[in-house]
Amino acid sequence: DAGVIQSPRHEVTEMGQEVTLRCKPISGHNSLFWYRQTMMRGLELLIYFNNNVPIDDSGMPEDRFSAKMPNASFSTLKIQPSEPRDSAVYFCASSPGTGSSSPYGYTFGSGTRLTVV
């Protein structure tokens, strides 16, 4: 089992550019989560999917952020246009449970460190 795979590991982009982060969850896991981690705000849940359907996106900071899950094995988080305050580590996680209240622990990817200059 390769675990949750995120790409890229690092991304440096200029303000105003579009950024797309990718995630491949563990096969068979039906819940997928996107988190953002910063020193100031800690770990924040941005959005989660259950069986490819977005369930709660209330954590998405602004309309500049969007997430999709076209199938059970792939999800993207897009920021357009990016701003310096979006700089953070973005984690994707998956779980075999259903919903954010899954009684199972999450398996996190290695994260994408985004720097917007």
Partner 1 sequence: AQKVTQAQTEISVVEKEDVTLDCVYETRDTTYYLFWYKQPPSGELVFLIRRNSFDEQNEISGRYSWNFQKSTSSFNFTITASQVVDSAVYFCALGTNAGKSTFGDGTTLTVKP
Binding site for partner 1 (CB under 8 A): 33, 42-43, 45, 48, 56, 58-59, 89, 91, 93, 99-111
Closest CB 90 distance from partner 1, rounded Å: 12
Judged by beta carbon, residue 81 or residue 110, the one nearer partner 1 is 110
Q: Which is nearer to partner 1, 20 or 98 (CB)?
A: 98
Give burial (CB, 10 Å; 0-12/13-18/19+) of 84: exposed
Cβ-based nearer residue to partner 1, 75 or 102: 102
- Least distance from partner 1 to the Cβ atom of residue 89, Å: 7
Q: From residue 39, give the alpha-carbon distance in Å to each of 22, 36, 78, 95.
A: 22, 10, 21, 25
Placement of tokens 């993207």 in the chain: 76
> For residue 74, what is the enclosing H or E element?
strand 74-79
